A and B are shown apart, each in its own frame.
Chain A
Amino acid sequence: MTAPAIEIRGLTQRFGEHVAVDALDLTVDAGECFGLLGPNGAGKTTTIRLLVTLLPVTDGEVTIFGLDVGRRAMAVRRLLGYVPQQLSVEGALTGRENVAWFARLFDIPRRERTARVEEALAMMDLTDAADRLAGTYSGGMVRRLELAQALVNRPALLVLDEPTVGLDPVARDSVWARVRELQEQFGTTVLLTTHYMEEADALCDRVGLMHDGRLRAVGAPAELKAALGPAATLEDVFRHYTGDQLAGQERGGLRSVRSTRRTAGRMG
């Protein structure tokens, strides 16, 4: 029996007076694509930084495939591929050198390295541009190069913080296609945050709506939409759970889709 990809229990993170993440509970199963949605400042990025060992977990418990992120940080990092919000590659290196750099940092043995780097570049459709300096890449290419850097390690869990922010529609579609491919072909677990409801709808098996450091609702996009009404979009679901009228009302921690349905029914 494999442990869940991510298990979060009672996770809290304060910055001074501000509570960025508030007693968060969440389980993401292996192979799932899970989307964290929420307005700016909801605590999505902080949650991710805690998950990927960038922030030390001081209150609560986080395990990745059964490994505690605090005590087993190095082992956890071997399982991770992480792409932060900013477009972040080394512009003074070529695409291939950027990927090879991360292959070395993940201790991929020398005899496999070249093949793995080429494979990652090919998968992200960057083979032709591999010898160009990454500083000359377009936004969409940079994002694909970052995915190649994250994939060269063959991660069990891929963490994407707003993967398509600032990309044009064509570039966005191509990033979506790659993520879907990864998930379908290799069963990679994906955790992503996004502001774009179409993105969540297109990619995620389940989504969690976050507001003020708490999860307001968790469920499959279709379930959450159906709970609001026959014509509801994910946009409506987003507004429903993160709109001002609900802010700070519910403090019950994680709420299941069922209790969400009841609330939705009550509100007509």
Chain B
Amino acid sequence: MSVRLDAPPAAWAERQAPSAASRLVSRVGTFCLVELQKLRHDRSELITRLIQPVLWLVVYGETFTRLRAIPTGDVPYLDYLSAGIIAQSALFVSIFYGIQIIWERDAGVLSKLMVTPTPRAALVTGKAFAAGIRSLAQAVAILVVALLLGVRFTPNPVKLLGVLVVVLLGSAFFCCLSVTIAGLVLKQDRLMGIGQAIMMPLFFASNALYPVSVMPGWLQVVSAGNPLSYEVSALRGLLLGTPTTLWLDFLVLLLAAIASISAASALLGRLTR
């Protein structure tokens, strides 16, 4: 497999190097492809992970639609909720990636990845988009269920493309948030505890289930600093046409994703020391 080298290996290594930008694109593509391959081999996971969001929509959603307790204007509560559940599902999928990276560390896979010519930032960005791919698969499934329940959302392809970008950015943020925490706590059991402890507050301190206007003042402040709220607002704006400042939603999600990718890249080395 190895070849007798006609040039000294050092010179040979230099010749092979691609530019940083094309390497980043190639690595992100590679990690997304691997994620799709894994999904293809285990489709049952897609189904089991769909149970919870379906319960939210069918049990919680249908009940609260009848109660009319939550003021959502002209939008039926189930429609309003479905955007929130897409974001919630993406959050739950992505938070798992920190646990996965600790598992990969314990299994030696992470060491092997880090000895390939892949800069840490490219590895983390690859993971972030892999989480995005899995969240997107989940989002598509939830949208299908919502359609069957009678939710009407936009057929506009540009807006649906916007939904794709929002889910990718939101997942990248939550994935790298959990990788960052993984880099700090280094142990799977500790991360599981922390993951549980932050997931629910992130969810309830957002506009996923109810509008910001019905929250107490202090919770409104928390929600304004919670990227999940911007993700939900953007999804609702794009899918249902509810009023939101789309450019602000995108900007917050983009900056949050960049910040968490940077933090996770900086801490990744701690995992293999």
Give the complex CA separation of A92 and B104 in angstroms: 12
Flag if B30 contacts A101 (CB, 8 Å): yes
Within 8 A of B (CB), among A111-170: 119-120, 123, 133, 146, 149, 151-152, 154-158
Flag if B1 contacts A119 (CB, 8 Å): yes
B111 contacts the other chain (CB 8 A): yes
Give the complex CA separation of A101 and B38 in angstroms: 12
Q: Which of A79-87, A200-208, A209-217 is the interface stretch?
A: A79-87
A2 contacts the other chain (CB 8 A): yes
Q: Which one of A53, A78, A187 has the greatest number of beta carbons of chain B within 10 Å?
A: A78
Flag if B117 contacts A86 (CB, 8 Å): no
Give the complex CA separation of A56 and B108 in angstroms: 18
**Residues in B neighbouring A256, C-beta threshold 8 A:** none
The 10 closest A-B pairs by CB, nearest first: A88-B108, A86-B108, A186-B2, A156-B9, A151-B1, A105-B116, A84-B108, A78-B13, A65-B9, A188-B2
Q: Considering only CB atoms, which chain B residue lies closest to A104 in the complex? A: B30
B51 contacts the other chain (CB 8 A): no
A232 contacts the other chain (CB 8 A): no
Given contacts A78-B13, A97-B34, A104-B26, contact A186 B111 (CB under 8 A): no
**Interface of B with A (CB < 8 Å)?**
1-5, 8-10, 12-14, 16-18, 23, 26-27, 29-30, 33-34, 37-38, 41-42, 106-109, 111-119, 269, 272-273
Interface SS of chain B: helix, strand, loop or mixed? helix
A145 CB → nearest B CB, Å:
12
**Residues in A neighbouring B27, C-beta threshold 8 A:** 105
Cβ contacts A to B, 29 pairs, < 8 Å: A3-B8, A54-B273, A66-B10, A74-B119, A77-B116, A77-B117, A82-B115, A83-B112, A88-B109, A89-B109, A90-B34, A93-B34, A93-B38, A97-B34, A104-B30, A105-B118, A107-B16, A107-B23, A107-B117, A119-B1, A152-B1, A154-B1, A154-B2, A154-B3, A155-B2, A156-B2, A156-B9, A157-B9, A182-B1
Flag if A156 contacts B109 (CB, 8 Å): no
Instruction: Apart from A2-B8, A105-B30, A155-B2, list 15 A-B contacts with CB within 8 A.
Output: A52-B115, A54-B273, A74-B17, A89-B109, A92-B42, A93-B34, A93-B41, A104-B33, A105-B118, A107-B18, A123-B1, A156-B2, A182-B2, A186-B2, A188-B2
**Residues in A neighbouring B107, C-beta threshold 8 A:** 86, 88
A55 contacts the other chain (CB 8 A): yes
**Residues in A neighbouring B12, C-beta threshold 8 A:** 78-79, 156
Give the complex CA separation of A219 and B109 in angstroms: 33
B61 CB → nearest A CB, Å:
32
A230 CB → nearest B CB, Å:
38
Flag if B273 contacts A78 (CB, 8 Å): no
A95 CB → nearest B CB, Å:
12
Q: Which one of A77, A119, A146, A149 has the greatest number of beta carbons of chain B within 10 Å?
A: A77
A26 contacts the other chain (CB 8 A): no
Give the complex CA separation of A92 and B33 in angstroms: 13
A106 contacts the other chain (CB 8 A): yes
Flag if A93 contacts B108 (CB, 8 Å): no
Q: Which one of A67, A84, A89, A93 has the greatest number of beta carbons of chain B within 10 Å?
A: A84
A75 contacts the other chain (CB 8 A): yes
Given contacts A90-B34, A187-B2, contact A149 B41 (CB under 8 A): no
**Residues in A neighbouring B108, C-beta threshold 8 A:** 84-88
Give the complex CA separation of A97 and B30 in angstroms: 11
B55 CB → nearest A CB, Å:
26
**Residues in B neighbouring A67, C-beta threshold 8 A:** 10, 13
Pick the contact of A101 from B17, B23, B34, B273 — CB < 8 Å?
A: B34
A37 contacts the other chain (CB 8 A): no
Give the complex CA separation of A55 and B1 in angstroms: 28
**Residues in B neighbouring A86, C-beta threshold 8 A:** 106-108
Flag if B112 contacts A84 (CB, 8 Å): yes
Q: Considering only CB atoms, which chain A residue lies closest to B16 in the complex? A: A78
Give the complex CA separation of A64 and B27 in angstroms: 25
A76 contacts the other chain (CB 8 A): yes
A149 CB → nearest B CB, Å:
7
